[in-house]
Structure formats: C-alpha cells, structure tokens
Structure 1
Amino acid sequence: MAKTSAVEKNERRRKMVARYASKRKALKAVIMDKSQPMEERFRAQMKLAALPRNSAPSRIRNRCEVTGRPRAFYRKLKLSRIALRELGNMGKIPGLVKSSW
C-alpha cells in the first residue's frame, strides 16, 4: 500500500489540473498563434509560467486504484501488476485467465 499522503497529493494535482485547464488552453493558444505580436505572446508565456506548477497535466502520476502503487501501472485497467495478479487469481477481473507454462 502506498503512502496515503502521496495518493492524496496526486488527487489534489488532478483537481488543480481540472481547475486551470481552460486558462492553460487559452494561454497556449495565444502562445502558439504566430499572427499575434511577439510582445502579446511573451506576456501570455509569462502568465502561463505564473500558474501553479501542479496545474500542469504532466505533474499527475498514474497510480493503481487499489493500492496506490505508482509503478508497473496498466493504463487500460488502472491497476498495478501486483493488484492485477491478485484480482485475476481471485477471478474478479472478467476475461482474465491465469496463464502458466
């Protein structure tokens, strides 16, 4: 089980990304618009840099829904490899068959 503080911090980041998404999108549109004057684009870039760091989507860490483990994460199932194996052995994941050779 992962530290509760790490899982909660990641959840706060998710909420902050959602809160600032529209503002970030608007500023990035101004920055990427080559028809805008250079000063206007630079001002938008400075405003974007002034936003909180945790409002950037790249700061979110994929974590297992069951254990909170940050590594060996399967995006499709939102589980770590360990949780996937345990739930698969118990028969809790439909369509997953235990394999051995």
Structure 2
Amino acid sequence: MAKKSWLERDKRKLRTVRKYSALRAELKAKKDYVSLAQLPRDASPTRLVNRCQITGRRRAFIRRFRLSRITFRELASAGLIPGVTRSSW
C-alpha cells in the first residue's frame, strides 16, 4: 500500500489539473507560452501519475483495468475480473 501522503499529493495534482485545464487550453490556442509558463507546475497533465485503484502502486500499472500487475493477478486468479480467464496449455 502506498503512503497516504503520496496518494493525497496525487489527488491534489489532479484537482489542480482540472482547475487549470480550460485556461491551459485557451493559452495554448493563443500560443501565449509566457502566460502558460506562469501557471503552477502541477497544472500540467503530464505530472499526473497512474496508480493502482486498490493498492496505490505506481509501477507495473495496467491501464485497461487501472490496477497494478500484482493486484490484477490476484483478482484474476480469484475470478473477480469479468472477461479475464486464466490461460492453460
């Protein structure tokens, strides 16, 4: 499980990105890069981190399921993810 401070930091970044998204789009359309640079760094969507919905792990993230590989394997083996079957050959 990720530290609560990291999870809260990511939530704060997400709120900041959403807050400035319209303004960023407007400034980019005007090609006003000086004003764009004056915005907070966390207003950029590239600063967001993909995290597992259950554990908060950021590495080995599977986008389609929004889970880390470890959590995905546990849930898939237990049959808790619809449409996912274990392979055998």
Q: State whether TM-score is above 0.5.
A: yes
Tell me, what secondary structure is at the counterpart of 2:10?
helix
Structure 2 residue corresponding to 1:55, chosen from 20, 23, 43 = 43
2:75 matches 1:74: no
Bigger Rg, which one: 1
The AA in structure 1 aligned to 2:24 is: R
- Inter-partner Cα distance in structure 2 for 1:63 and 1:17: 16
Cα displacement (A) at 1:99: 2.5
Question: How far apart in 2 are the matches of 1:17 and 1:24?
Answer: 9
Aligned 1:36-47 pairs, distance under 5 A: 44-47=32-35
Q: In the alignment, what sits opposite 1:13?
A: 13
- In the comparison of the two structures, how many residue pairs are matched? 89
Question: Which stretches of structure 1, 4 residues or longer, exceed 4 Å deviation after superposition?
Answer: none
5+ long unaligned stretches in structure 2: none
| 1:70 match: secondary structure | coil
**SS of the residue 2:18 aligns to:** helix
Aligned-CA RMSD value: 1.0
Match of 1:85 among 68, 73, 81: 73
The alignment's TM-score, normalised by the length of structure 1, stands at: 0.83
Q: Percent identity?
A: 48
Secondary structure of 1:13's counterpart equals helix
TM-score (norm 2): 0.94
Match of 1:29 in 2: 29
Aligned letter for 1:46? V
- Shift in Å, 1:100: 4.3
- Residue aligning to 1:36: none
